């Protein structure tokens, strides 16, 4: 039976136009389910039901007059806590940040407002997005709906948990080292890191050229719809693309016949991949052969760029905490403070070398690789979701550093290339696995097209309510 909770963004517009469903009904349904599930998953830091319903009522009036602002008018959305929303605080997961209302919409938020979407609230993240899990001093632990004893990953933690339960159809996240794709993989949803600059940002991230904005959704079509809205220029971001994004929805139709795909199960490194994840992602990669693509197992041939990442990342953390004194730091995530202290020691020459020379070397190597292969396929993560309250899985295979269990995501922040995580099956314990599809710089439309072909051939599993009980954290 079709329920409001099962509908995608692409399905809502035609129903609004036919007057068989209204934006107010959809908003009320989302608010009711948020109220019911939020005690279990803890995905929001800001909720404003009055503002949500006012936006829904305005959308409903436009549809009744036959004057919608576009296909997303009335579609409910959420926005991560490090993205500005006029009138709501932006605390970036930090308990020491100001709770004053932010003065203006960020570019992506503004584009969604202009499209007539309905804001449900702001979603949780670890403090300043510094790690790949979903707890913070501000909001506590966010949980994974597939098993609430596990975490959804991060840093777009609340966005992913909301996407998994369809608490809103479109969810804005950010990705500086995997922070859209990591939680997308753990929660069984679609998560796109677009080409850097495709979605403008303001205020700019202290992580600089690593930081991308992108959507988390239940379907690839909804992801493309979101990109049509947010992939537009904004003069506040001097590094953003100045051309408007193509119609990504229209571009979904081409399939993958004749494309050359590379499957790399470990990126050529000694990565301990969970056997179930290895089997699920390999089967998913090889499924592209059935769709008419050639798939060859081959590694792109670059060394682990972790030092490049951490030079830029730690310096960015130091910048983010530059005005925080000892009393404030004592209330912050100790891991974030440690990374910032590491960043304080980064020399200017080392930072420039990482930001320009090392990053460009890797980007050049991947450009040469994509001259041979249209797309690169990898696991998104080497393991399924793990217990909450940890920064790492808690066993020796991945060490004590969270970046060690995310080896497939951060290289493509360094190259700034588009990459998407697609759900590709469930482990025996019922936890999702993610397949990553990486394209050449600027080839977002091709990445989405391949994702749509895979989704059609291998429909994704869905979840309607949180599973399990609070056994951890």
Give percent above pLDDT 90 in the chain.
95
d(CA 163, CA 67): 28
Q: Are 144 and 385 in contact (CB under 8 A)?
A: yes
pLDDT at 244: 84
d(CA 240, CA 197): 4
Q: Indicate if 94 belongs to the active site.
A: no
Q: Is the pLDDT of residue 332 over 80?
A: yes
The H or E element containing residue 225 is helix 220-230
pLDDT at 462: 94
Q: Is the pLDDT of residue 472 over 50?
A: no
Q: Which residue among the candidates 22, 59, 136, 155 is catalytic per the annotation?
A: 155
Which residues contact residue 361 at a Cβ distance below 8 angstroms, ignoring those fewer than 6 apart? none
pLDDT bracket for residue 396 (50, 70, 90): low
Q: Which residue among the candidates 80, 122, 131, 193 is catalytic per the annotation?
A: 80
Q: Is the pLDDT of residue 22 over 90?
A: yes
Q: Is the pLDDT of residue 403 over 90?
A: no
pLDDT bracket for residue 402 (50, 70, 90): confident
Q: Please compute, for residue 207, the number of CA atoms within 13 A of its CA located in the half-sphere on the CB side.
A: 26
Q: Is the pLDDT of residue 470 over 60?
A: no
**Mean pLDDT score of the chain, rounded to an integer?**
96
Q: Which residue among the candidates 59, 136, 161, 179 is catalytic per the annotation?
A: 179
Average pLDDT over residues 120-131: 98
Q: Indicate if 179 belongs to the active site.
A: yes
Q: Indicate if 161 belongs to the active site.
A: no
pLDDT at 7: 97
Relative orientation angle of helices 220-230 and 107-114, to the nearest 10 degrees: 100
Q: Are 95 and 328 in contact (CB under 8 A)?
A: no
pLDDT bracket for residue 75 (50, 70, 90): very high
pLDDT bracket for residue 469 (50, 70, 90): low
How do residues 241-252 score in pLDDT, each as one tens digit? 999 889 999 999
The H or E element containing residue 448 is helix 444-457
How do residues 190-231 score in pLDDT, each as one tens digit? 999 999 999 999 999 999 899 999 999 999 999 999 999 999
pLDDT at 34: 98
């Amino acid at each position: 039976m079709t329920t409001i909770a099962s509908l995608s963004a692409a399905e809502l517009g035609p129903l609004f136009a036919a007057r068989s469903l209204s934006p107010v009904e959809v908003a009320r349904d989302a608010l009711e389910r948020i109220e019911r599930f939020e005690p279990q998953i803890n995905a929001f830091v800001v909720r404003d039901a009055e503002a949500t319903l006012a936006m829904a009522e305005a959308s409903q009036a436009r549809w009744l007059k036959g004057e919608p602002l576009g296909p997303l008018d009335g579609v409910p959305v959420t926005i991560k806590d490090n993205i500005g929303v006029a009138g709501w605080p932006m605390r970036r997961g930090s308990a020491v940040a100001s709770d004053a209302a932010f003065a203006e919409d960020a570019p992506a938020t503004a584009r969604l407002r202009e499209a007539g979407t309905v804001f449900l609230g702001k979603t949780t993240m670890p403090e300043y997005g510094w790690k790949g899990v979903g707890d913070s001093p501000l909001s506590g632990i966010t949980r994974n709906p597939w098993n609430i004893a596990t975490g959804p990953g991060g840093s777009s933690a609340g966005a992913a948990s909301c996407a998994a339960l369809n608490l809103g159809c479109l969810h804005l996240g950010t990705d500086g080292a995997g922070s859209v794709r990591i939680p997308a993989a753990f929660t069984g949803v679609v998560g796109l890191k677009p080409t850097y600059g495709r979605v403008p940002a303001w205020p700019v991230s202290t992580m600089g050229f690593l930081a991308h904005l992108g959507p988390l959704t239940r379907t690839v079509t909804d992801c493309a719809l979101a990109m049509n809205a947010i992939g537009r220029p904004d003069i506040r971001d001097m590094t953003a693309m100045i051309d408007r994004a193509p119609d990504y929805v229209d571009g979904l139709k081409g399939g993958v016949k004749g494309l050359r795909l590379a499957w790399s199960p470990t990126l050529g490194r000694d990565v301990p991949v969970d056997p179930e994840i290895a089997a699920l992602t390999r089967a998913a990669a090889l499924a592209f052969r059935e769709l008419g693509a050639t798939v060859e197992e081959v590694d792109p041939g670059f060394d682990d760029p972790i030092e490049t990442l951490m030079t830029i990342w730690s310096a960015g953390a130091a910048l983010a905490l530059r005005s925080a004194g000892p009393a404030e730091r004592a209330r912050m995530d100790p891991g974030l403070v440690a990374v910032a202290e590491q960043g304080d020691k980064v020399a200017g020459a080392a930072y420039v070398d990482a930001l320009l020379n090392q990053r460009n070397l890797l980007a050049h190597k991947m450009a040469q690789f994509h001259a041979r292969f249209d797309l690169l396929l990898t696991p998104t993560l080497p393991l399924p979701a793990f217990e909450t309250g940890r920064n790492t899985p808690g066993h020796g295979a991945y060490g004590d550093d969270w970046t060690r269990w995310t080896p497939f995501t951060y290289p493509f922040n360094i190259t700034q290339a588009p990459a998407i995580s697609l759900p590709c099956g469930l482990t025996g314990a019922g936890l999702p696995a993610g397949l990553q599809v990486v394209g050449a710089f600027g080839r977002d439309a091709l990445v989405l097209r391949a994702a749509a072909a895979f989704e059609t051939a291998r429909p994704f599993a869905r979840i309607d309510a949180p599973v399990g009980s609070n056994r951890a954290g």
